[in-house]
C-alpha cells in the first residue's frame, strides 16, 4: 500500500530534508574554507576535499554497487563517475595552472590527452566490475572483504601505472604509490560493512524485502558481528605490529 500525501512523519523531514542539506553545506564549507583561513591552510583543505571526492566517486560507490548488485552495475557506475571525476580534476588542474602561470611566470600546463585522466576512468570501472565479478552477490562478509581489497588494490596499481605516463608524472615515488593504494585498500574493508547494512534492510536490487524479516535480520547481525571480528582482528594485529616496529625503528 502506497503512502498518502497526508502521511508525513518527523523522520521524513529529518532524513529527507535536514540531513542532506547539512551534508551539502558541510561539503561546500570545506571547499571555500581556504578563502577565509588564508593560503597557509590551503593544502590541508584541498587534500581533504580531493581525497573525499576521489574516495567516494571512483572507489566507494562503484565498489558498493558491484558488491550488492553485480559487476555490470559496478563497472557502469565506475565509468560514469570516473568520467565525471576526470572532467572535474582536469578543470581544477587547468585553473590551478592558470593561477600559477599568471603569478609566478611558470609555464601553463593543461591535461589535454593526459593518460592519468583515462586512468581515473579505467580504475573506477575496474574496481566496480571486479568487486561484483569476484563477490557474485554473496552476502558472506569475508568474501566481500576479499573482493573489495583485491579490486581496490588492482585498481590503485592501475591508476598509479597510468599516471607514470604523464609528462611529468602527477603521482610518483613510494609515497605517491602508498597514497594511491592504501585508501583503496581501506575502502575494500569499509565498503563491505556498508554493503552489509544495505543487505539487512533489503536495499539490494532484485531481492524482495519480504526476505528480510526482523528476526532474520537480528540473526544476521549476530553472525556479522562474529564475521567482522574474525576479519578485522588479523588486520588490526598487523597494524599494531607495524606501528610498534616504526616506533622502535625496526
All residues at 6 or more sequence positions from 140 whose CB lies less than 8 Å from its CB, including other chains: 227
Q: Which of 23-37, 94-108, 148-162 has the lowest mean pLDDT?
A: 94-108
In 105-172, where does DSSP find H-type helix? Answer: 115-135, 141-163
Q: Is the peptide bond before 168 cis (omega within 30 degrees of 0)?
A: yes
Hunting for cell 571525476 — which residue is that? Answer: 85
Question: How large is the C-alpha radius of gyration of the chain?
Answer: 21
Q: How far from each other are the two terminal CA atoms of the chain, in whole angstroms?
A: 64
Please give, one letter per residue, the 3-state secondary structure of 133-151. HHHCCCCCHHHHHHHHHHH
Query: Is pLDDT of 250 > 80?
Result: no
The gap from C-alpha 241 to its chain's centroid, in whole angstroms, comes to 27
Query: Is pLDDT of 41 > 80?
Result: no
Q: How far apart are CA 96 and CA 51, in angstroms?
A: 17
Beta strands in the chain (DSSP E): none
Q: How far apart are CA 232 and CA 125, in angstroms?
A: 27
Q: How far apart are CA 155 and CA 145, in angstroms?
A: 15
Q: Cα dihedral sign for 52, 57, 58, 64?
A: positive
- Residue 239 has a pLDDT of 46
Percent residues over pLDDT 70 in the chain: 66
For 214-248, the pLDDT digits (tens) are: 555 555 555 555 555 555 544 444 444 444 444 44
Q: CA–CA distance from 239 to each of 14, 236, 243, 245 (Å)?
A: 38, 5, 6, 10
For 89-119, the pLDDT digits (tens) are: 877 766 555 545 455 554 555 556 678 888 9
What are 213's three cell numbers?
A: 524479516
Hunting for cell 625496526 — which residue is that? Answer: 250
Amino acid at each position: 500500500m502506497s503512502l498518502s500525501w497526508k502521511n508525513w512523519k518527523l523522520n521524513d523531514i529529518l532524513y529527507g530534508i535536514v540531513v542532506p542539506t547539512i551534508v551539502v553545506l558541510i561539503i561546500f564549507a570545506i571547499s571555500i574554507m581556504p578563502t577565509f583561513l588564508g593560503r597557509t591552510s590551503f593544502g590541508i583543505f584541498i587534500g581533504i576535499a580531493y581525497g573525499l571526492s576521489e574516495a567516494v566517486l571512483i572507489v566507494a560507490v562503484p565498489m558498493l554497487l558491484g558488491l550488492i548488485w553485480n559487476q555490470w552495475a559496478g563497472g557502469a557506475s565506475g565509468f560514469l563517475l570516473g568520467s565525471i571525476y576526470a572532467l572535474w580534476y582536469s578543470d581544477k588542474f587547468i585553473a590551478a595552472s592558470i593561477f600559477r602561470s599568471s603569478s609566478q611566470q611558470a609555464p601553463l600546463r593543461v591535461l589535454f590527452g593526459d593518460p592519468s585522466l583515462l586512468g581515473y576512468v579505467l580504475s573506477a570501472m575496474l574496481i566496480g566490475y571486479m568487486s561484483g565479478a569476484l563477490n557474485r552477490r554473496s552476502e558472506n562478509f569475508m568474501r566481500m572483504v576479499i573482493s573489495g581489497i583485491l579490486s581496490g588494490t588492482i585498481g590503485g596499481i592501475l591508476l598509479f601505472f597510468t599516471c607514470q605516463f604523464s609528462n611529468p608524472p602527477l603521482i610518483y615515488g613510494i609515497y605517491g604509490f602508498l597514497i594511491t593504494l592504501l585508501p583503496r585498500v581501506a575502502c575494500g574493508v569499509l565498503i563491505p560493512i556498508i554493503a552489509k547494512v544495505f543487505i539487512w534492510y533489503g536495499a539490494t536490487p532484485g531481492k524482495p524485502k519480504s526476505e528480510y524479516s526482523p528476526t532474520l535480520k537480528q540473526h544476521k547481525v549476530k553472525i556479522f558481528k562474529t564475521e567482522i571480528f574474525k576479519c578485522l582482528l588479523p588486520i588490526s594485529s598487523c597494524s599494531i605490529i607495524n606501528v610498534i616496529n616504526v616506533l622502535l625503528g625496526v
